[in-house]
Structure 1
Amino acid sequence: MSQTSLLLERLGALIQQSVRDAAARHGLLPIHIQVLHYLMRANRYSDLPIAIAEYFGITRGTVSQTLAVLERKGLLTKEPDAHHGKRVHLTLTPAGESVLSDSWAEHVEQALCERPVDAATLESTLRNLLSAMQRVNGQRAFGICRQCAHFLTEESGARCGLTHEPLATEQTVRICREWSAATAWCA
């Protein structure tokens, strides 16, 4: 096993421990923290129960139970989609955002800021590794909207080339389940 594999395994274990600790502090399970963190970063195409199932590779039943707990604890709300019948969008409440105020992601960002690295190279390497692992595991890619092959910039603003819908700026920096690899990465 290469040193890189060992480092990634150790980082993964430390992140999982941080998620477990955060969950325990709030009387939640790790999947609850993971779903809250995902929803904090998801765009309007991805803040759906089915997207959560796809992202984490879990069953719809597990998602349903998870969402019921989070809604009952006042950490998220369900909002009907005005254009798509039974579809609901999930939104964090201020209490849900508060649970994430001292998350593992913040700890990773802080560690990266303390040790200057070539962020672009690291991000590119990790993105390529992630894409390869998703292919091996047969999982949907997911990715940042503005780095997608469907992302279009026009005079009037951003637009999704797949759905032909305009995109608000805040949506373009979030995770999208319709993401597809672009030939060249946009910054």
Structure 2
Amino acid sequence: MNAAALLLERLGALLHQSVRDDAARHGLLPIHVQVLAYLAQANRYSNLPIAIAEYFGITRGTVSQTLAVLERKGLVTKQADARHGRRVHLTLTPAGEAVLQGSWSHRIDAALGELPLEPQALDAALRALLASLQRLNGQRAFGVCRQCAHFLAEADGARCGLTGERLEQEQTLRICREWDAPRTPSA
């Protein structure tokens, strides 16, 4: 194993420990805190129970149990989708947002901000590594809406090229389950 792989393994272990510590502090399991962090970043195509299952590679039953706990503790709410029958969208409550204050994800952001690296170069390298590992594991990519092949910037805003729907500015900064890597023109 090369040095970079060892460093990534160690970073992964530290992240897992941070998630466990945050969860324990709030009387939750690690997956509960991870789902809250996911929902804080998910757009309207991704704040669905099925998207959570795909993102974390867990069963629908596990998602259902997790959401039941989070709902019972007042950390998330379910809202019916007006256009799609039985589909429900999940939203963090103020209590759910409070769980994330000062959490592992904020500590990672702070640590990354202290690195003497060009943020765009680090993002690109990590994104490439993530995409490669997701391909190897046969998982959906998920990514930030405005960095997607389907993202269409228009004079009066933005639109999803896949669904044809208008996108609010705030939604374009969130992760999406329909994300696809932008195509590079062939030479």
TM over 0.5, yes or no?
A: yes
Report the equivalent of 1:155: 155
SS of equivalent residue, structure 1 residue 128: helix
**C-alpha separation in 1, matches of 2:41 and 2:134:** 19
Deviation at 1:156, TM superposition (A): 1.5
Q: Which amino acid aligns with 1:78?
A: K
**C-alpha separation in 1, matches of 2:123 and 2:141:** 16
1:41-73 Cα shifts (integer Å, max 9, x gaps): 000000000000000000000000000000000
Bigger Cα displacement from structure 2, 115-124 vs 157-166: 115-124
Deviation at 1:168, TM superposition (A): 0.1
Q: Which amino acid aligns with 2:49?
A: P
RMSD: 0.7
**C-alpha separation in 1, matches of 2:154 and 2:26:** 44
Report the equivalent of 2:166: 166
Q: Which amino acid aligns with 1:103?
A: S
SS of equivalent residue, structure 2 residue 82: coil
Q: Which amino acid aligns with 2:164?
A: H
Question: Sequence identity, in percent?
Answer: 71
Query: Does residue 130 of structure 1 match 2:130?
Result: yes
SS of equivalent residue, structure 1 residue 28: coil
**C-alpha separation in 2, matches of 1:145 and 1:175:** 6
1:126-153 Cα shifts (integer Å, max 9, x gaps): 1011001101111011000000000001
**C-alpha separation in 2, matches of 1:156 and 1:113:** 33
Report the equivalent of 1:121: 121
**C-alpha separation in 2, matches of 1:10 and 1:34:** 19
Deviation at 1:115, TM superposition (A): 2.7
After the TM superposition, which parts of structure 1 deviate over 6 Å for at least 4 consecutive aligned residues?
Answer: none
Relative to the length of structure 1, the TM-score reads: 0.97
Aligned residues: 184
Matches within 5 A, 1:1-187: 1-183=1-183
Deviation at 1:161, TM superposition (A): 0.3
1:89-125 Cα shifts (integer Å, max 9, x gaps): 0000000000000111111111122232111111111
Q: Which amino acid aligns with 1:87?
A: R
**C-alpha separation in 2, matches of 1:55 and 1:61:** 14
Q: Which amino acid aligns with 1:83?
A: R
Relative to the length of structure 2, the TM-score reads: 0.97
SS of equivalent residue, structure 2 residue 74: coil
Q: Which amino acid aligns with 2:56?
A: F
